[in-house]
Structure 1
């Protein structure tokens, strides 16, 4: 366990440094006011699918961190980890959903993307102590993860003017920092709110010290790496590629061909029809076919009526069935 720091805080700091060194995307901030402009995402349904895959993966990841399942107590530890992960994700999602309705943090809308990120932030926060938290503590940690996500997003985007397209810093750094600290506060084994003694206080100090070490090491190393990449023009694509997209220059094919959308009754459809050079084939309408089918339906119904005692089915039901079959 305890991956809120070494995995998520590390990743969140790396994302922040990379976004800072690279600079914002074209058109992300208004040139006159400096306020952020919304850049629509690719696909909300695909983002939802990715989020649900992450949530499912978190359950397996936190549960499997026990390392075994056959030893005494393993089952209870795995069940506790998964239960707390679900609880923290739920409270984190609801927290961000309602906070987004506030004028200080959101646009007063029920944002699905914000809710999804809140659930992920709650799961990030519980990773550090998912096997040693009570249910109510997991609920509180999820709330803290959601609040931390909203505050970090506000600071990074509106105050520091850093364009983090995926909110990776807010989700992983914001949720991870709170998760590491929460172990020193709410852990039933070493939390200072459970055991008011020197050992609990020392645990909280060590948690904060580890945060400082992770942030300093990751930030310094990533700054050097991304700075060198930027100097050698290896960090960002050209202006044209960024505006038009990377599908054609990188892969040689579009992700969404324009020809695959719409209907075939426009100019392109007429052109294709001319190229094929075949006359259209029109299917007969139901009114043309019905007079030919009706006599056969009557014959089948009469036949079914004669063998009624064999099948023990009402005649009208047979007629309807035969009609649909024909």
Structure 2
């Protein structure tokens, strides 16, 4: 029995644990220490309020870059390509990565269509994150899984992504990129998939003492990584928070970091405005005016800001807010009184 134990060790071919679990745990602790963005959760109900990203096409481009990067990352984990059998091992790793990505994307897209896990929409961004989670999950065993097992591993990764995303929101932790769900959730599935699905010694194929020991080693390795990374991340992020250097000032967060931190804007101010010095009926100007009024009434620790919730077909709520304010109409969130001063909306966000 002693010799059996000594021969067992943590199996992780391409970094489900040492790369992705580490990143996911760090992201979770960092988001916890940072606190949610302004307006991310309703203070009365605790329900999350969507803060839309900058550009879905740009997110798509980044996602596809990551997908192709995974092919190189997982394949190159073989360490060489000149020895006998290297080519076959790399081919298996890349093929399994594609299948796991497909399983993850397919699963998350279907689950998001349900009422319990999603908004009953065919969400591209959810499918993209599910695709990445599937590739994270396959990393540990991409060199030894059968092709159908790779697809199943991707499905399990997609399920873990949806469950972790739901849990993080329930805890009122704001993780804008779902890094914890993608990397920790997918990485943990990958670590546990090897002792179950490996055709060499997996429990599904060989239920014996060796496979049981292998499962124990995987659990011990995953628990060790979790404890080590969570402890160090907690010390790091909460020390930065205690020193008041973890989060930017309130005004920077509301208006953006381009001007005060970088001295330049990503887009022409004439087209979008950046909030630092412009006047006029732009959305940023409305946010600035509403912020000043709310700060006078409520103080710096509680500011009520709510962007319009309704819009014309094909028009974003932001554009609708600007249009209705220009027309002098009362719109939920940004309202203008007779003296044209912005007043606070009904929703509250605490810093």
What TM-score do you get using the length of structure 1 for normalisation?
A: 0.79
SS across alignment from 2:47: coil
Distance between the aligned counterparts of 2:93 and 2:102, measured in 1? 14
Answering whether residue 210 of structure 2 is matched by residue 199 of structure 1, we say yes
Q: Following TM superposition, by how much is the alpha carbon of 1:208 offset from its aligned partner in structure 2, in angstroms?
A: 0.8
Structure-to-structure mapping, 1:58-97, within 5 angstroms: 58-97=70-109
Q: Following TM superposition, by how much is the alpha carbon of 1:211 offset from its aligned partner in structure 2, in angstroms?
A: 0.9
Partner deviation per Cα, 1:172-197 (whole Å, 9 max, x = no partner) = 01111011000010011221111111
The match for 1:228 among 239, 243, 250 is 239
Query: In structure 1, what is the Cα distance between the partners aligned to 2:271 and 2:33?
Result: 38
- 3-state SS of paired residue (1:259): coil
Query: Retained in 1: the 8 A contact 2:14–2:74?
Result: no
Contact kept in structure 1, 2:105 and 2:158, CA below 8 Å: yes
1:129 corresponds, among 141, 147, 164, to 141
Task: Report the alpha carbon displacement of residue 33 of structure 1 after superposing the two structures with TM.
Answer: 1.1
Question: How much does 1:259 deviate?
Answer: 2.8
**Alpha-carbon distance in structure 2 between the residues aligned to 1:12 and 1:253:** 32
Alpha-carbon distance in structure 1 between the residues aligned to 2:158 and 2:73: 20
Contact 1:2 1:180 in 2 (8 A): no
Structure 2 residues without counterparts, runs of 5 or longer: 1-12, 273-351
Equivalence for 1:218: 229
Matched, 1:185 2:185: no
Instruction: Give 1:258 shift.
Output: 2.9
- Tell me which residue corresponds to 1:155: 167
CA distance in 2, matches of 1:20, 1:38: 18
1-side partners of 2:242 and 2:200: how far apart?
49
Q: Which residue of 2 aligns with 1:25?
A: 37
Given the two structures, how large is their TM-score scaled by the length of structure 2?
0.73
Instruction: Quote the offset at 1:2 in angstroms.
Output: 4.2
Q: How much has 1:234 moved relative to structure 2?
A: 1.1
Structure 1: which 5+ residue stretches go unaligned? 262-326
- Are the equivalent residues in 1 in contact too, given 2:97–2:139 (CA < 8 A)? yes
Q: Is the 8 A contact 2:137 2:157 kept in 1?
A: yes
Query: d(CA) in 2 for partners of 1:2 and 1:41?
Result: 30
Greater CA radius of gyration, 1 or 2? 1
> Where does 1:244-283 land on structure 2 (aligned, <5 Å)?
244-259=255-270
SS of equivalent to 2:19: helix
Two-structure CA RMSD over aligned residues (Å): 1.2
SS class of match (1:136): helix
Report the CA distance between 1:260 and its aligned residue: 5.4
Runs of 4 or more consecutive aligned structure 1 residues displaced over 6 Å after TM superposition: none
